[in-house]
Amino acid sequence: MRITIRKNDYEKILAHSLKERPNEACGLIAGIDREDGTREIRFVYLLTNTDASNEHFTLDPKEQLLAVKDMRQNGWKPLGNWHSHPESPSRPSEEDKRLAYDRTASYLILSLMEEDHPVLNSFHVENGESEKEDLTVLDETAEKQ
Amino acid sequence: MKITVAGETKEVRDGITIAELIEAEKVETPEYVTVSVNEEFADREAFGSQQLSDGDTVEFLYFMGGGRA
């Protein structure tokens, strides 16, 4: 699947993840699924990692509900979630895969393992197997120039 | 009666329970789904008995978490 995220939303994820280090940061992504199959992220939600851990994350269900309510009001749909890996690569761990119950979701993982080279990837997870999605960060400022 | 499920208005039979709606909507891995009705979390143990009412808004929220292991 092709999936797009705007640069400012990517930067929002990055800033929050850096702020939350050494713990994992997490949140939700919302947007639309286009008829051509492209998934377009229109908004990123920064949620609390209730585990407050550098090895685990759990989204706060109350915040999740508030975010979904906001999505409905804006005409978006829940597209999946994102979380950071402060010290490991941008790929789903075994636990990430085991706990990925929504096969319609995109799972974004931002690795901060290399200080100067953060890496964001998106994955589809189904039956314990992950597949990398075609994620593009859109720099709308550059497009206008 | 009409209810809103995951943002979509749907016609369902009067008195449908949460458990019946989960089945009708073919919600996958329902054991990992939290259900909210009108922004209140429903008690999982009451899914089989809690009936929905006309105009209710229902959301299915998947548990979302992970870890390094």
Q: CATH no. for residue B7?
A: 3.10.20.30
Residue B17: inside a domain: yes
Residue B42: inside a domain: yes
Q: How far apart are CA B64 and CA A80, in angstroms?
A: 9
ipTM topping 0.85: yes
The answer to whether B67 contacts chain A (CB < 8 Å) is yes
Total domains, chain A: 1
Residue in A26, A71, A94 closest to B69 by CB: A94
Chain B contact set for A58 (CB, 8 A) = 63-65
Q: Tens of pLDDT along B8-58?
A: 999 999 999 999 999 999 999 999 999 999 999 999 999 999 999 999 999
Structure tokens at B67: 């870890």
What CATH number does the domain containing A128 carry? 3.40.140.10
Reported for B40-43, long-range contacts at CB under 8 A and 24+ positions apart, including other chains, are: B41/A61, B41/A65, B42/B18
pTM of structure: 0.92
Residue B57: inside a domain: yes
What is the rounded average pLDDT of the residues A89-118? 94
Handedness of CA A49, B39, A102, A120 (dihedral sign): negative
| Residue B69 pLDDT grade (very low, low, confident, very high; cuts 50, 70, 90) | low
pLDDT score for B67: 84
What is the rounded average pLDDT of the residues A42-56? 97
Mean pLDDT value across chain A: 95
The domain in which residue A20 lies consists of 2-144
Q: Tens of pLDDT along A8-37?
A: 999 999 999 999 999 999 999 999 999 999
Whether A140 shows a pLDDT value over 80: the answer reads no
The answer to whether B7 contacts chain A (CB < 8 Å) is yes
Total domains, chain B: 1
Whether B62 sits inside 8 A of A61 (CB atoms) is no
- Contact (Cβ atoms closer than 8 angstroms) between residue A30 and residue A41: yes
Residue B31: inside a domain: yes
The domain in which residue B44 lies consists of 2-62
How far does the CA of residue B9 sit from the closest CA of chain A (Å)?
A: 12
